[in-house]
């Protein structure tokens, strides 16, 4: 499928004026589609709010103004206001805002591309009038992105796409600055959907016209619960492979009534975020949560896309014996050429010490695999959501769950065998550690440019389909010095 005819040779993209180079050729690009690899996911069953009797946050600033009684109270049950009197938010502890502000300021030092875009474009306010509802990880780096969008004229309401990845102090800082944010570390499934709903269904009558999503949960919620809002959306920006698959499912079914931008498959996201970010954060997450030594360990990495490549390279460098499972023959051959043994998971599962999923798909590690694992095997996910590992199958009466430390559970079988499950099968690097700020700057800038492009594009340029972000829009990220 070609770009719309409306994109003429003399008509620059809406976001092109903010690039750091002379305009490049305006030759229409072809839209790239990913294969439909999974079904359009359904909502998890709402299981109600779980007890917050123990703090499960791992942030170094959790103790700033928190005590045991604070940890036992759900943020939904607390009345909090900012110094300016606003109550349109829900975070763990608004008193942590000062610490969160310092973390955001530290992140800004490494996010040169995003700060450059903010300085270059804030005079023109290219997002003036945009009402962006977002569902992403809430970290210091995301805080810089959200404040950049606000500086460019947007109004934002935000929730978390992962129940364990929110930095509570950053959420507090964003709330104090006036952002309507609903997120805290350790949400239940019911809390998760409540936070998304509060972002979309604002009491003030605020109605979103743009979506920035990570995983597709927000898009799915708006589509299912608020069709009148969905029809008014001007554009969707999706940054994860799982969310992109769900968009293609909507498009294939003829239910995608707005243009969507696929950031996940952009050159900058694939070549920097997915590869280099995971190459560093996989080791950080495993070390912090398990204190494991990698030399001589047998590791299987499920999936050899950019995320899998980064994980394999890092583990190999520290002396691990790395095996790879991969269904794509080209990626499998790449793994072989790098010296990794390509196997079936069922063939190697009894031998390995660590299992890492990196596919973005679901049920990659099943209960059958889990039953056959050796005692002490570490199981974790670097892909997306909590569906790659069949964690639900482990919640049965015959198995015992034992919380060892924050985000680390031992699952004990009747015969005494135990496996080590990290972050309940959710993203390891965002739940058990942190990720490199510099790399996230590239992805965040790409997302900001995609929002600018969709919001300012003339009517008819983008039809109701999924588009790949033009490569030239990624150049701004690479022009900033390392």
Residue 308 among known ligand-binding residues: yes
Q: Can you count the helices (H) and strands (E) in the chain?
A: 18, 15
Residue 375 among known ligand-binding residues: no
Residue 310 among known ligand-binding residues: yes
Residue 307 among known ligand-binding residues: yes
Residue 124 among known ligand-binding residues: no
Residue 390 among known ligand-binding residues: no
Token readout for 197 is 């709903």
- Whether the Cβ atoms of residue 107 and residue 137 lie closer than 8 Å to each other: no
Residue 439 among known ligand-binding residues: no
Sign of CA dihedral 459, 461, 463, 468: negative
β-sheet bridge partners, residue 41: none
∠ CA 71-75-76, rounded to 5°:
140
Residue 388 among known ligand-binding residues: no
| Strand duo 466-468 + 400-405: pairing | unpaired
Rounded Cα–Cα distance for residues 397 and 368 (Å): 17
Secondary structure (DSSP) of 262-327: E-TTSHHIIIIIIIIIHHHHHHHHHHHHH----TT-EEEEE--SHHHHHHHHHHHHTT-EEEEE-S
Rounded Cα–Cα distance for residues 133 and 137 (Å): 13
Token readout for 377 is 């095997």
| Cβ neighbourhood burial of 292 (10 Å; 0-12, 13-18, 19+) | middle
- Whether the Cβ atoms of residue 479 and residue 21 lie closer than 8 Å to each other: yes
Rounded Cα–Cα distance for residues 169 and 96 (Å): 5
Percentages of the chain per state (helix, strand, coil), in multiples of 5: 40, 15, 45
Residue 396 among known ligand-binding residues: no
> How does DSSP classify residue 197?
H
Rounded Cα–Cα distance for residues 29 and 305 (Å): 24
Instruction: With H, G, I as helix, E, B as strand and everything else as coil, classify residue 210.
Output: strand
- Whether the Cβ atoms of residue 299 and residue 315 lie closer than 8 Å to each other: yes
Give the residue among 468, 482, 453 at the shortest CA–CA distance from 113. 482
Residue 214 among known ligand-binding residues: yes
Residue 239 among known ligand-binding residues: yes
Instruction: Detail the residues annotated as belonging to a binding site.
Output: 139, 214, 239, 269, 273, 305-310, 326, 429
Q: Which residues are annotated as a binding site for NAD(+)?
A: 305-310, 326, 429
Residue list for the binding site for substrate: 139, 214, 239, 269, 273
């Amino acid at each position: 499928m070609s770009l719309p005819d409306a994109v003429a040779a003399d008509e620059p993209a809406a976001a092109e004026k903010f690039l750091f180079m002379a305009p490049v050729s305006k030759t229409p690009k072809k839209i790239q589609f990913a294969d439909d690899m999974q079904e359009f996911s359904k909502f998890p069953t709402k299981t109600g709010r779980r007890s917050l009797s123990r703090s499960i946050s791992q942030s170094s600033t959790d103790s700033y103004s928190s005590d045991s009684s604070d940890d036992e109270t759900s943020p939904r049950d607390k009345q909090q206001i900012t110094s300016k009197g606003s109550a349109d938010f829900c975070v763990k502890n608004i008193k942590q805002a000062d610490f969160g502000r310092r973390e955001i300021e530290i992140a800004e030092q490494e996010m040169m591309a995003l700060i450059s875009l903010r300085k270059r474009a804030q005079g023109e306010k290219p997002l003036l009038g945009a009402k962006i509802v977002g569902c992403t990880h809430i970290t210091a780096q995301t805080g810089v992105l959200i404040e950049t969008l606000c500086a460019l004229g947007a109004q934002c309401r935000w929730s978390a796409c992962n129940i364990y990845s929110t930095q509570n102090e950053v959420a507090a800082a964003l709330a104090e600055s006036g952002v309507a944010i609903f997120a805290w570390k350790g949400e239940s499934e019911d809390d998760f959907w409540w936070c998304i709903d509060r972002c979309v269904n604002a009491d003030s009558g605020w109605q979103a016209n743009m979506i920035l999503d990570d995983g597709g949960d927000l898009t799915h919620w708006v589509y299912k619960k608020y069709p009148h809002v969905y029809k008014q959306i001007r554009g969707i920006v999706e940054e994860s492979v799982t969310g992109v698959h769900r968009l293609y499912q909507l498009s294939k079914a003829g239910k995608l009534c707005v243009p969507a931008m696929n950031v996940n498959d952009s050159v900058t996201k694939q070549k920097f975020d997915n590869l280099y970010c995971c190459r560093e954060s996989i080791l950080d997450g495993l070390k912090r949560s398990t204190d494991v030594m990698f030399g001589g360990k047998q590791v299987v990495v499920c999936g050899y896309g950019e995320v899998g490549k980064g994980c394999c390279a890092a583990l190999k460098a520290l002396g691990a014996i790395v095996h790879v499972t991969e269904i794509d023959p080209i990626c499998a051959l790449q793994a072989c050429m790098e010296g990794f043994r390509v196997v079936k998971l069922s063939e190697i599962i009894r031998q390995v010490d660590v299992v890492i999923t990196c596919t973005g798909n679901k049920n990659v590690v099943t209960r059958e695999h889990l039953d056959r694992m050796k005692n002490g095997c570490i199981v974790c996910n670097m892909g997306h959501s909590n569906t790659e590992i069949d964690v639900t199958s482990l919640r049965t009466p015959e198995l015992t769950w034992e919380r060892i430390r924050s985000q680390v559970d031992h699952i004990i079988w009747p015969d005494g065998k135990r496996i080590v499950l990290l972050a309940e099968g959710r993203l390891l690097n965002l739940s058990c550690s942190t990720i490199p700020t510099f790399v996230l700057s590239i992805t965040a800038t790409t997302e900001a440019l995609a929002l600018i492009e969709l919001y300012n594009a003339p009517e008819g340029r983008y039809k109701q389909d999924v588009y790949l972000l033009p490569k030239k829009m990624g150049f701004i990220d690479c022009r900033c010095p390392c």
